[in-house]
Amino acid sequence: MSPRETRQQHSAAGGVSLPEVDPYFPTSGDPRYHVHRYEIALDYRPDPNRLAGTARLNAIAAPAVGPLAEFTLDLAAGFRLGRVLVNGKAPHYAHRAGKLRLRPAKPLPPGAAFTVEVHWTGNPRPVRSPWGGIGWEELDDGALVASQPIGAPSWYPCNDRPADKASYQISLTTPSPYAVVLGGRLLTRTVKSSSTTWVYDQPAPTSSYLVGVAIGQLHQIRLDDPDAEEVPQFGWAPHPLVPAFAAGFSRQPAMMRLFQDLFGPYPFDRYTAVVVDEELDVPVEAQAMATFGTNHLEPGWASERMVAHELAHQWFGNSLSVADWRNIWLNEGFAKYAEWLWSERAGGASAAERAAKAYQLLASLPQDLRLADPGRRLMFDDRLYQRGGVTVHALRVALGDEAFFRMLRDWTRLHRHSVVSTELFLAHVRRYAVTPVEELLHDWLIETVLPAFPA
């Protein structure tokens, strides 16, 4: 690792020390500044897959890097740029290889607030990654966004680091037959001639890859009881799929109640589930939102567990976001274990039984994955999900239920809407352990060889 990579930057969100660059994606993002708000206006025409946008970023220069003479935004190379401004003045800029490099007319003082305005047009398409194209995806009739981990620049200029969380207001105009769904509160919907403009606001700090969008000819369904004091839960699906959607997501309100009991209050003001009229390999995680395919409406555990998994991400992954991608097990291990907790409380197999089955699977596979730092190649390997879930179960066995669930609720409360790391989690867990758990967690998180199953 280079000296540049090992220098540390302090994060105001949660007090976590962050690497200057993400070790897995060193060209993504820029640690020399922090964006605290995005205001984005988009016009999207589905038939030509044409996007025109304006973004205003409110940012703060890092206090410890000296005057900011140059900085970068992430934006896919295929877009044509119009006006670009920094603090209302035209900077020198260059747009190449997915990076928009800006040099303000005057260097920005350390800690100074500043604004960036970018106008762009083009045909959004997924950006290349080791897992195929990710980001803005054109559908047969509409579009969706699936940005994890580095797909956000496929449709808007951003500081594409999971730890650089900001609030968002997004206005999106489409032809009127199409609905626009984003993860936030719908402020206004204005029909003008043959187009409709949808304006959403998400005040909670949001990582760039977790800004979700779904565009299609969709109908809204209310999942919670509006007369009860519950988290508002909405569904969107094509009209022919509404009955299947209502059946497939009928248990989500019960999941929400259970997870609030186990993990603490839901961290956002509403939750939205979308089904698009296409099959998807996996559901798409986003903040206060998840997108599913038609194949996720099939009855049975395989679909039900995914509903639970995506809901659990609102606590683990979205409210509590990883400091960098080495820590992805904190997202996926807890979301996997949430599936097993739902099974246990809903009359299915117990979490211990689900963990034992996962352990048997892991024992039959190569044991070359280091959970706490899997490397870019293995960060989405199914073994990370399964081993992450079994690791959480091992911790539950070691702590006992009372201390374990108290630890979880405190974890989500203390770090709500902030940034977390494995090191921070280990320090947190120690406060709830009657006997030392360092060796146990070292074996599960750092060693590659599978430890004994927790009895």
DSSP-derived secondary structure letter, 303: H
Residue 255 Cα distances to 310, 389, 435, angstroms: 11, 18, 32
Work out the pLDDT band at 227, boundaries 50, 70, 90.
Answer: confident
Count of beta carbons in the 10 Å neighbourhood of residue 120: 25
Instruction: Provide mean pLDDT across the span 8-30.
Output: 69
What's the mean per-residue pLDDT of the chain?
Answer: 94
Q: Write down how long the chain is.
A: 455
Whole-number Å distance between alpha carbons of 231 and 158: 30
Whole-number Å distance between alpha carbons of 391 and 393: 5
Whole-number Å distance between alpha carbons of 93 and 308: 45
Whole-number Å distance between alpha carbons of 270 and 283: 18
The pLDDT value recorded for residue 357 is 98
Work out the pLDDT band at 16, boundaries 50, 70, 90.
Answer: low
Work out the pLDDT band at 226, boundaries 50, 70, 90.
Answer: confident
Which tens digit of pLDDT belongs to each residue from 405-437? 999 999 999 999 999 999 999 999 999 999 999
DSSP-derived secondary structure letter, 452: P
Work out the pLDDT band at 4, boundaries 50, 70, 90.
Answer: very low
Q: Which domains does the chain have, with CATH numbers?
A: 21-214 (2.60.40.1730), 218-314 (3.30.2010.30), 321-445 (1.10.390.10)
| Cβ atoms 271, 313 nearer than 8 A | no
Find how far residue 374's CA is from the centre of its chain. 19
User: With the CA atoms of 294, 297, 299 and 305 taken in that order, what torsion angle do they form, in degrees rounded to the nearest 10?
Assistant: 120
Find how far residue 406's CA is from the centre of its chain. 25
